[in-house]
Amino acid sequence: MLIDGGGGFSRSFDPGERIVAPYLWSIKIMHVDYIVLSHPDRDHFGGLAFIVRNFSPSEFWTNGAVGIDESYRGLTDAIRMSKARMRMCDTAAPPLTIGGVNLRCLAPLVGARARKGNNASMIIRLSNGQSSFLFAGDLEAGGERELVASGANLRSTVLKVPHHGSRTSSSPELVGAVRPAAAVASLGYHNRFHFPAPQIVDRYKAGRIVSEHR
- The per-residue pLDDT for range 171-180, each reduced to its tens digit, is 999 999 999 9
- 50 and 130 together in one domain: no
Residue 79 pLDDT more than 80? yes
- 37 and 99 together in one domain: no
Residue 191 pLDDT more than 90? no
Domain boundary among 73, 88, 103: 88
What predicted TM-score, i.e. pTM, was given to this entire model?
Answer: 0.92
Asked if residues 184 and 212 have their Cβ atoms less than 8 Å apart, the reply is: yes
Which of 62-66, 93-97, 187-191 shows the lowest per-residue confidence on average (mean pLDDT)? 187-191
* CA gap 147, 139 in Å, rounded: 9
- 192 and 138 together in one domain: yes
Mean pLDDT calculated for residue range 14-43 = 96
- 112 and 63 together in one domain: no
- 79 and 161 together in one domain: no
CATH number of the domain where residue 201 is located: 3.60.15.10
Helix (H) or strand (E) holding 207, with range, is: none
* CA gap 142, 129 in Å, rounded: 31
* CA gap 147, 27 in Å, rounded: 35
- 2 and 101 together in one domain: no
* CA gap 105, 204 in Å, rounded: 24
- Domain of 24 in residue numbering reads as 1-88
Residue 104 pLDDT more than 80? yes
pLDDT at 209: 53
- 46 and 8 together in one domain: yes
Domain boundary among 20, 55, 88: 88
- 59 and 97 together in one domain: no
Q: Residue 213 — very low, low, confident or very high, per pLDDT cuts 50/70/90?
A: very low
| Count of beta carbons in the 10 Å neighbourhood of residue 86 | 10
- 95 and 50 together in one domain: no
Number of structural domains found in the chain: 2
